[in-house]
């Protein structure tokens, strides 16, 4: 499978959102949410690779100091050992550079009110856009934190790929020929989830190579599972 980024709707949405938060002068939080595997992190990392942003993936149980230490490290700043001494250089750096913060796995921050308050303080004092990325339940988890929710100007749901995006994803990345009928079957069974599509594609390619063919159709794939299992020979044309 080719290791390339396919410009699916998720990437288009994320890049569009980035443009919108740059134009907003106040209340510069944005919230991106979606089910696992729909391409949120892939799209955010692609944005991080080409735009002046800072990406941080959160961990469960972080205290405000642990959060700030991780953010300082992501920004290339020194960790000062105390919250106040670490927080000020972060705010000064963000204020002077204006880069956008991309906070992934933000659900892990919602259980600690003080971490959310720290994040709000960074937003207010540095006046930089902050994009939070999480699961569909993230809004319900933070809506009681009114001072933070009131600063969110944009809400964006990332959904699974439609058939057009799923077909593009497979055709751009595959190294064997896959029929349109089989692509549609892969789409239907994965519900357009890019993470599943990737696993399905790897299995189709490995199966094809194992049995010496560079072309797979719905007919010769038959009723096999798209998830890796014990390999079964692919029938050749004519049933031989």
Q: Is residue 106 pLDDT above 50, yes or no? A: yes
pLDDT of residue 239: 45
Q: Predicted confidence band at 144 (pLDDT cuts at 50, 70, 90)?
A: confident
Q: Is residue 12 pLDDT above 60, yes or no? A: yes
pLDDT of residue 229: 66
Alpha carbons 214 and 178: distance in angstroms, whole number? 9
Give the pLDDT confidence of 56-91 residue by residue, as tens digits. Answer: 999 999 999 999 999 999 999 998 889 989 999 999
Q: Where are the domains of the chain?
A: 9-157, 163-221
Residue 125: Cβ-neighbour burial (10 angstroms; 0-12, 13-18, 19+): middle
CATH of region 9-157, choose from 3.30.70.3000, 3.40.50.2300, 3.40.50.300, 3.10.510.20? 3.40.50.300
Could you count the other beta carbons within 10 Å of the beta carbon of residue 73? 12
Give the pLDDT confidence of 175-233 residue by residue, as tens digits. Answer: 999 999 999 999 999 999 999 999 999 999 999 998 899 999 999 999 989 987 655 56
Q: Is residue 31 pLDDT above 80, yes or no? A: yes
Token pair of 156 as six digits = 């964006």
């Amino acid at each position: 499978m080719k290791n390339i980024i396919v410009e699916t709707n998720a990437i288009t949405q994320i890049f569009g959102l980035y443009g919108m938060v740059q134009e907003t002068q106040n209340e510069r939080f944005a919230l991106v949410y979606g089910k696992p595997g729909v391409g949120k992190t892939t799209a955010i990392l692609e944005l991080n690779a080409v735009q002046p942003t800072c990406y941080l993936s959160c961990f469960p149980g972080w205290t405000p100091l642990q959060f700030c230490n991780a953010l300082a490290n992501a920004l290339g700043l020194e960790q000062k050992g105390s919250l106040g001494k670490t927080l000020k250089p972060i705010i000064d750096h963000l204020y002077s550079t204006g880069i956008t913060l991309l906070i992934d796995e933000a659900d892990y921050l919602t259980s600690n009110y003080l971490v959310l308050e720290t994040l709000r303080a960074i937003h207010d004092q540095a006046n930089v856009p902050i994009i939070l990325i999480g699961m569909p339940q993230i809004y319900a988890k933070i809506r009681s934190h009114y001072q933070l929710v009131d600063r969110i100007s944009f809400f964006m749901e990332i959904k699974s790929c439609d058939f057009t995006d799923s077909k593009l994803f497979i055709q751009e990345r595959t190294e064997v020929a896959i029929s349109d009928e089989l692509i549609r079957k892969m789409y239907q069974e994965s519900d357009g989830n890019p993470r599943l599509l990737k696993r399905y594609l790897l299995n189709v390619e490995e199966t094809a190579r194992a049995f010496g063919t560079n072309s797979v159709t719905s007919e010769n794939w038959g009723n096999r599972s798209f998830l890796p299992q014990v390999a079964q020979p692919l029938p050749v044309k004519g049933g031989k």
